């Protein structure tokens, strides 16, 4: 997981894809895709005109097979990556950062992925984002940083029924447990 500023993303795009026609897109999370029934209408009402659904580019005026898609990206802009378009590239990446989950995709005009960038700590495949790193995450003495299994104690305490119950065939009143 790595994080980049918008300026770093812009510089890298201009360096790596200079004079190349690119698409700037942001992924829609799988949770949002499955949770929102009218996700295409919301994208359209936000002013976007194209999406990439399972690798195919669709105009939002066309019928997008929303029920069958597994991945959806909003196309923020199509442009040639060159210094003359630097401000447009900055604006598009800022819009993408606000519209998506902090993840930015750079694709060629056919929709093939060229690069993934993130302005937050997030996995590019599943969009998992860990909580912000703080010292308490690294402290065994704090419940936030403690191991979930041992609660930061280093030992797991449990009762072994075989050691407690001497004769499992007997009931408690008949002497299954000594004492």
Q: pLDDT tens digits for 132-164?
A: 778 887 776 777 777 778 877 778 888 888 888
Could you give the angle at the alpha carbon of 7 between the alpha carbons of 27 and 117, nearest 5°?
Answer: 30
The Cα–Cα gap between 79 and 10 comes to 13
* Cβ contacts of 114 within 8 Å, gap of 6 or more: 16, 17, 22, 106, 107, 108
**CA distances from residue 114 to 20, 117, 130, 169 in whole angstroms, order as listed:** 11, 10, 25, 67
pLDDT given at position 26? 92
Over residues 76-104, the pLDDT tens digits come to: 999 999 999 999 999 999 998 888 778 89
Higher pLDDT, 125 or 108: 108
Q: Which single residue is written with the structure tokens 């359209």? A: 44
Is residue 166 within 8 Å of residue 176, measured between CB atoms?
yes
The Cα–Cα gap between 129 and 152 comes to 23
Mean pLDDT calculated for residue range 49-67 = 85
Helix (H) or strand (E) holding 104: strand 103-108
């Amino acid at each position: 997981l790595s994080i980049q500023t918008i300026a770093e993303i812009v510089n890298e795009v201009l360096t790596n894809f200079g004079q190349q026609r690119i698409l700037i897109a942001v992924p829609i999370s799988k949770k949002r895709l499955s949770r929102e029934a009218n996700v295409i209408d919301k994208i359209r009402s936000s002013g976007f005109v194209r999406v990439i659904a399972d690798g195919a580019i669709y105009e939002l005026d066309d019928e997008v097979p929303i029920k069958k898609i597994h991945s959806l990206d909003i196309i923020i802009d199509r442009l040639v990556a060159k210094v003359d378009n630097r401000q447009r590239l900055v604006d598009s990446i800022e819009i993408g950062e606000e519209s998506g989950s902090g993840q930015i995709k750079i694709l060629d005009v056919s929709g093939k992925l060229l690069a993934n960038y993130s302005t937050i700590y997030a996995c590019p495949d599943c969009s998992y984002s860990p909580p912000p790193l703080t010292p308490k995450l690294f402290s065994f003495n704090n419940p936030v940083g403690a191991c979930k299994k041992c609660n930061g104690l280093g030992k797991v305490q449990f009762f072994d029924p075989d050691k407690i119950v001497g004769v499992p065939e007997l009931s408690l009143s008949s002497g299954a447990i000594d004492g």
